[in-house]
Structure 1
Amino acid sequence: MNCSAPTLAQALNQAHTLGLERIDAQLLLLHAVARPDAGRAWLLAHDTDAMDEAAHAQFLALCQRRVAGEPVAYLTGRKEFYGLPLQVDARVLDPRPDTETLVDWALEVVAPLAAPRVVDLGTGSGAIALALQSQRADAKVLAVDASADALAVAQANAQRLGFPVLFQRGDWLQGVDGVFDAIVSNPPYIASADPHLAALTHEPLQALASGADGLEDIRTIVAQAPAHLRPGGWLLLEHGYDQAQAVQALLFAQGFTQVQSRNDLAGIARCTGGQWPVAQTVK
């Protein structure tokens, strides 16, 4: 093969030899040839096109970084979530497709309401808040994060997409005014001693780990939520693959009703929520 001008197909084979997943290699190759929106079908149609030397060098460098564990979204600076092209980098978590389950559920609980008020806690890149706003133009969506860096990423995404999401820096619901029809959050939920954290060194630790059992932040949110939910409002939380039962117990203990869990794309219970009861009228 002519190393100075490999074809796109040859470059993908090189990535495969390095151990990359095919989808990762395709996304990195589209980025390297400055065609990020072209799609994987474009690569197939152009597989005999020659790469220029600079693009090929950039592609191989990106492949090496991916092999070292850096998320594709950080390498390309973009990630699609709920059909929205988001800009992401190492200041925020790489949005996972499974989190779309949480968005679906939130849209379901506010579906009957006009101009629902929703708050997304620990918004990161703004993925959840922006997805909700994209589907409900009438919703009043507030996005909260303790990290100024994360808020900068989220606000830039909102501005670029033209969505009127409001942003506030804060520690969960502390300092947040008013009541909401839904509180949604994908908070940190990994135990601080979990060996899996070692493989996530490229992502911000404060957005991943939450105390000895991984439930510290969820406990805080569950305790704060009742003061910020209208009667009949919902608290919806994403959590670890083995935490559904523990999160359900926390919600029941706090007085939530209709407590239930939803499965992610792999069929694992990864979202748990409950409804704040409507006050019963005394006869």
Structure 2
Amino acid sequence: MDLVDIDDLSVTDLGAVLDRAAELKAGSGPEAGTSAGQPLDGQTLAMIFEKPSTRTRVSFETGMTQLGGHAIFLGPDDIHLGHGEPIRDTARAVSRYADFIMARVFDHTDVEGLAEYATVPVVNGLTDDAHPCQTLADLLTVREKFGFDSHVAWVGDGNNVCQSFVLGAAMVGLDVTVATPEGYGIDDAVYERAAELGDPPERTTDPEAAVADADVVYTDVWVSMGQEDEREEKLRAFEGFQVTTELLGDRPLMHCLPAHRGEEVTDEALESDNAIVWDQAENRMHAQNGLLVWLAERS
């Protein structure tokens, strides 16, 4: 089985992955006094990176070490995905060496191609369309702190993180309101998928209306990697969508990081006691650990 999009998991599977992540988290770290064990002893994760990322690399690599396995970093200078060698050949070859493949790339179809031809589980570490690993971490964080009977307001761009999040939220029954400028909302196809999975998000162009009944506020960068040529246009379009301490109020703040302080969120809001972004960042590792162990247990 692969995780290319969050809804590749069934609702039952999603719950099982989150449960496994929580179990592994509870058994790890110095405060727990015990080891998480080594359920992936001797196994290897091949990590393909077209897009650099501090959190994705460190969380996967550290997680594999904790679980008794090993991670191999394959950056742009090590592998040229789809250039010089077809993706199907890369998938077949790497499958002979590694037990899992994680790919963080631009084009979503590249991960789909890896998943089609690999004979080991393929995990989407981020594409321009989706970020299911972030959604696992987000849902783990919300479940830990508030439960799924809460209401999350997304304020900002309807980007890949947002699109995966609304799908995952629909699967667990989490209420979401998405506030974006006109023309920057989630894709209609994603909205329709969310409606098929459960309750789709409410959509608005008014940030204040979005947060009015929210328990949590979530934001992300307005200018994603690869969109630098759209920067000035987006900064103008997103005027009024910055998460400030005034907009946040006493609500907790989530952000998938890295943050562009002074753009989508103020430094004051991110440094406030309301920010739970560091717990959220830590949960990337625990959620991914849960996913990898769950995938291994199914094979």
Higher relative contact order (CA 8 A, sep 6+): 2
- Say whether the fold is shared (TM-score over 0.5): no
Q: TM-score by structure 2 length?
A: 0.43
Q: Which has the higher strand share?
A: 1
Tell which structure's C-alpha radius of gyration is larger.
1
Q: TM-score by structure 1 length?
A: 0.45
